[in-house]
Structure 1
Amino acid sequence: MHRLTRDEARRIVVRAQLLDADRPGDVVEVIEQLGSIKIDPTATIAPAEQSIPWTRIGWSFEPGQLRKAVEDDRTVFEFDGAFHAGSLLAPMVARMRSRTLRPAMREYLDANDAFRRDILARLTAEGPLRASDIPDTSVVQRNDESGWYGSNQVPRMLELLALLGEVAITARAGRQRVWDIPERVYPGDLPLPTPEEADRIIQERQLQAAGLARERSPWTPVGTAGEPAEVEGSAWRWRVDPGAIATLDDDPGGRAAILNPYDRMLFDRPRLTELFEFTYVLEQFKPKAQRVYGYFAHPILVGDRFLGLLDAELDKKKERLLVTAVHELVPFDEDEREMVDAEIRDLAEWLGVPLVLPG
């Protein structure tokens, strides 16, 4: 049983998320440590798949590096709305191919078996293709209560087949996914673990990315990976990454980091509150009158504490980064303000636009 102070617990999490002063060198290193980064088109400043690596790497990150890793080097792959580490491909494919569908999804797939076979045949003969290149020959349509889909069933079927490992995303044409059969996207000699072994590997990697996670957490499901831990002042049962314990005394120090709202550091909201005393509410879907910090406010981490939120947007017409407010959850001291201001300036420089501050 490891017994951690709260400072140690926070430091483990920050280091696991590559948010300390020791910056990684490239986007593949980032994704290998984090396991995945979310893809999201919301770009008040920059899309998640661009701003998340920038937060770790800094000014030297260029979006083209990610495209090269995915489409040319195949060291990163896209699946289910995220870019994933290439080293996780085998266990994730094993999971795909052993997946049990919910009854409603299985009924939809069975009723549209001819449609499914049409898509696979077309990709085999003509691929790679965008969803818009594939005709909709569905017999049964699936009701859409989310509002994310139109009546065209091709994107739905492609996503379902991807979950089963029958199709794969090979590239992007702008924001559109380009699909192909897995044999032309994934290595042909990929050794697949058993489903049980795949689960173990993925849980260990999730704990590596988290550093420290609550046992049986639905937000960070790590199972029995790692070793048990207690955290000062917390009644929770924790699992800690042994690698994080081994390097706990190697402290490179902290820095300021501006986090995209879809950053993995923020995903486990209960853990944020328990360890960092930070309750984050994304106000994107709130009516404007009910917003306190802004439509897509980016949390600001300084060292191992969340001290503020940045409300800013990239004004594409005037080509400038417009800062509406820097909300201080607690008053910044002089050093903290200097660190935050420097990170905002670096963000504008990375975007290649002038910085416009409030007032």
Structure 2
Amino acid sequence: MTPHRLSRDEARRLAVRAQLLDADRPGDPVEVAEQVGWIKIDPTAVIAPCEHTMLWARIGEGYEPAHLRKAVERDRLLVELDGAFHPVSALPALLVQLRRHAEHPRATEWLAVNARFRTEVLARLRAEGPLLASAIPDTAEVARSNDSGWWSDNQVPRMLELLSYRGEVAIVRREGRSKVWDLAERVYPAAPEPTPEEAERDIAARRLRAAGVAKHSAWTPVHDAGEPVEIEGLKGAWRVDPEALAALDDDPGGRVALLNPYDAMLYDRPRLEAVFGFRYVLEQFKPKPERRYGLFAHPILIGDRFAGMLEAAVDRREGALHVQAVHELLPFEEEEREMVRAEVLDLARWLGVPLTDTSDV
């Protein structure tokens, strides 16, 4: 079919609206996850953990962490899998795709030599119900190497993670930051299993819906989902979500959003630079002398422009949100400066702490 044509401004508006970062705010975590696709879980809490700041940035002051717990633990409308919360509607396709990880030759070999260990883990969960990994004995006969340093020597968390990719166990809740596991059949709803081809199409369509407009890549594998589109000044074969395109003229307008560095909006770095002209580098792992904007600076979205970086942190001992700087990547107008300040104040109120502002905003 003949490609649609979009200006760069229109492409940015589509992307912002697809991520629920325009003036029309969603109502709850399930609505966010259905549209955005996934809510990243990360314990880094310079301000607050990613799963909560992602939801606050979209829902606003009405969001409380208890809403996420209810959706996951009681209503079972969201599931934790592979480091993120996903809508339960995506679960069948996700499990088909994740099973490929569990079928990697090294994973298959490790499971084979630890067949008794696997059986003992599943038997303990079946007999005792939901358990922390620490409550399950490590009886592995062969340990996996720990060259990366990301794992402890305890093989139980590795086994549970691998079995979750196979759809045999599931995370039922968290106690603090620790996962509580159970048999998947007691957590997940019964649903038909799609074929690999159906699963790939479903996930590609969800990715494109979450992006609004994207180029198929390793960052955002949309394949041939949606419809072709040409974006003014950009090369390559782009795809657009037809429903988002049809609603382009219904744009409710923009607002200010403060984004956690692990927010889904920031994930596809090449798209971020191509469409928004924003080259984002997380400085968390840079030596301090090489940082320009701070350890864990939050990008500031004003309308459809990445206009600044918020350098701030919660001081746990003092119980206050300290703002060291608001770095202007693009010059703020006075009205924009007031909007940013209002959003930072809203952030402090949501956190339940006073604001200590040493910046010029």
Say yes or no: TM over 0.5. Answer: yes
- What CA distance in whole angstroms lies between the structure 2 residues aligned with 1:99 and 1:46? 31
Q: Which residue does 2:326 correspond to in 1?
A: 326
* 2:25 paired residue among 16, 23, 26: 23
TM-score, length-scaled by structure 2: 0.97
Letter of the 2:195 counterpart: T
Q: Which residue does 2:211 correspond to in 1?
A: 210
Matched residue SS, 1:312: strand
Whether contact under 8 Å (1:98, 1:195) holds in the other structure is no
In the TM superposition, what are the counterparts of 1:1-359 in structure 2 within 5 Å?
Answer: 1-97=3-99, 101-187=103-189, 189-215=190-216, 217-358=217-358
Distance 1:97 1:268, change over 3 A: closer
- Report the alpha carbon displacement of residue 199 of structure 1 after superposing the two structures with TM: 1.2
What CA deviation, in whole Å up to 9, does each residue of 1:313-351 have, x standing for no partner? 011111110001101112211111111111101000100
- What CA distance in whole angstroms lies between the structure 1 residues aligned with 2:260 and 2:100? 33
- Give aligned pairs, total: 357
- Report the alpha carbon displacement of residue 93 of structure 1 after superposing the two structures with TM: 2.8
- What CA distance in whole angstroms lies between the structure 1 residues aligned with 2:25 and 2:225? 26
Matched residue SS, 2:66: helix
- What CA distance in whole angstroms lies between the structure 2 residues aligned with 1:263 and 1:17? 10
- Report the alpha carbon displacement of residue 99 of structure 1 after superposing the two structures with TM: 5.5
TM-score, length-scaled by structure 1: 0.97
Matched residue SS, 1:249: helix
Q: What RMSD, in angstroms, separates the aligned Cα atoms of the two structures?
A: 1.1
The more displaced of 266-275 and 119-128 is: 119-128
- What CA distance in whole angstroms lies between the structure 1 residues aligned with 2:242 and 2:251? 16
- Report the alpha carbon displacement of residue 35 of structure 1 after superposing the two structures with TM: 1.1
- What CA distance in whole angstroms lies between the structure 2 residues aligned with 1:68 and 1:231? 41
- What CA distance in whole angstroms lies between the structure 2 residues aligned with 1:35 and 1:56? 14
Matched residue SS, 1:197: helix
What CA deviation, in whole Å up to 9, does each residue of 1:11-34 have, x standing for no partner? 000000000011111111111111
Whether contact under 8 Å (1:130, 1:176) holds in the other structure is yes
- Report the alpha carbon displacement of residue 145 of structure 1 after superposing the two structures with TM: 2.0
Letter of the 1:243 counterpart: E
Residue segments in structure 2 that go unaligned for 5+ positions in a row: none
Letter of the 2:331 counterpart: P
What CA deviation, in whole Å up to 9, does each residue of 1:237-265 have, x standing for no partner? 10100011110000100000000000000
Q: State the percentage of identical aligned residues.
A: 62
The more displaced of 118-127 and 48-57 is: 118-127
